[in-house]
Amino acid sequence: MPQLVDGKWETGDVAASEMKDGAFHREPTSFRNWITADGSPGPDGQPALPAEAGRYQLFVAFICPWASRTLMMRNLKGLQDIIAVSISEPELGENGWTYAKPQDAGPRAGSIRYQHELYTASDPHYTGKVSVPVLWDRKEGRIVNNESADIIRILNTAFNHLTGDRQDFYPERLRPDIDRWNVPIYETVNNGVYRAGFARTQDAYEEAVTRLFETLDRLEAHLAENRYIVGTHFTEADIRLFVTLIRFDAAYFGAFKCNLRRLEDYPNLSNYLREIYQWPGIRETARIDHIKRGYYSIAHINPARIVPLGPLLDLERAHDRARLAGQGVMAAGSANLLSN
């Protein structure tokens, strides 16, 4: 996979730069500014821009779970008319993330076809991998933030005064529990599937897969008694878990060899997945066709790049999460929006 080196696009294996002793280690993101309602500093004092309708744009790919987090939050918070979206092709080629047609990135940047153009517009000497999602400032022609964990928290609150949507998916009183769950979910599930799929030694692969399924087993038991990750309220912890679960049987089980069990073999996890998938605004963020095309186009994992026809997934069938009646509101302090 290629990358930028001092602002120049270079072909080569970026994954090699993220490997240590045969194990995959994710490269940290580089752009970490914030958006707040009035442009005051972010929660940790980060430089921030003011929230404005039409000023910002998300550049994403349906294949990418990190990008899907931001699409979910955008829809759940009713930001479809506030923040524009550009969707990349699912396959990563010699030019990295590529858009089928030129995308309008605002008056300063003009039209772009490749994600790396956003990076060099923001930093002409940028060196590193080029990733999605990107939260882009159309007015100033630069990246605001390319860390999905930050972006979902920005979208959670920054635009409330424009939409009137006060749902809070990271409520202060639940933050200790959310943060406690986010750590193992990220380390062993979200990133764990990549550590398995990109491992280049047997030991690294087995360590990643073992930890992944230990956490899935733990989550299966937890969800037997809790409708959502922190109990009664749907939060960002659920968003972060969902994006990996929705890709599991379609891609990670086969392409990444995460095949001790299918997600379908977990009654609580699979029912939990279907409940969230069936909510208004979520289906369109989870394009299984893009997911399969994207993962099975990774050459060093699938040299022939043949996309399997299966598995057959019925994400529309009924779920049983209503058995945990009384444990279901979308977010702390919000109205009950669940209809299933």
User: For residue range 170-191, what is the model confidence (pLDDT) as tens digits?
Assistant: 999 999 999 999 999 999 999 9
Judge whether 105 lies within some domain: yes
CA-only gyration radius of the chain, Å: 20
* Token code pair at residue 274: 């279907």
Please indicate, yes or no, whether residues 318 and 187 belong to a single structural domain of this protein.
yes
Neighbouring-strand partners of residue 57: 84, 136
How confident is the model at residue 329, as a pLDDT?
54
Which of the residue ranges 81-90, 127-136, 205-214, 331-340 would you say has the lowest mean pLDDT?
331-340
Judge whether 319 lies within some domain: yes
Average pLDDT, stretch 79-103? 97
How confident is the model at residue 337, as a pLDDT?
40
Judge whether 58 lies within some domain: yes
* Token code pair at residue 265: 């073999």
Active-site annotation holds for 119: no
Could you tell me the residue range of the domain that residue 212 belongs to? 172-324
Please indicate, yes or no, whether residues 26 and 79 belong to a single structural domain of this protein.
yes
Judge whether 334 lies within some domain: no
From 194, 228, 266, 272, the catalytic residue: 194
How far apart CA 190 and CA 170 sit, in angstroms, is 19
How confident is the model at residue 331, as a pLDDT?
55
The answer to whether 256 touches 24, Cβ cutoff 8 Å, is: no
Please indicate, yes or no, whether residues 232 and 140 belong to a single structural domain of this protein.
no
How far apart CA 241 and CA 296 sit, in angstroms, is 22
Closest CA to 287 of 60, 9, 114, 17: 60
From 56, 64, 205, 266, the catalytic residue: 64
Please indicate, yes or no, whether residues 222 and 123 belong to a single structural domain of this protein.
no
Percent of the chain surpassing pLDDT 70: 91
How confident is the model at residue 15, as a pLDDT?
46
How confident is the model at residue 102, as a pLDDT?
98
Please indicate, yes or no, whether residues 65 and 122 belong to a single structural domain of this protein.
yes
Please indicate, yes or no, whether residues 150 and 184 belong to a single structural domain of this protein.
no
Average pLDDT, stretch 212-238? 97
Which pTM value belongs to this model?
A: 0.93
Please indicate, yes or no, whether residues 45 and 9 belong to a single structural domain of this protein.
yes
Closest CA to 156 of 79, 265, 66: 79
pLDDT digit string, tens, across residues 28-37: 888 999 999 9
Grade residue 287 by pLDDT with cuts at 50, 70 and 90: very high
Angle at 142 between CA 141 and CA 146, to 5 degrees: 145
Domain count, the chain: 2
Judge whether 335 lies within some domain: no
Judge whether 337 lies within some domain: no
How far apart CA 337 and CA 61 sit, in angstroms, is 27
Please indicate, yes or no, whether residues 54 and 181 belong to a single structural domain of this protein.
no
Length of the chain: 340
Active-site annotation holds for 64: yes
Please indicate, yes or no, whether residues 103 and 220 belong to a single structural domain of this protein.
no
Grade residue 333 by pLDDT with cuts at 50, 70 and 90: very low
How far apart CA 103 and CA 110 sit, in angstroms, is 8
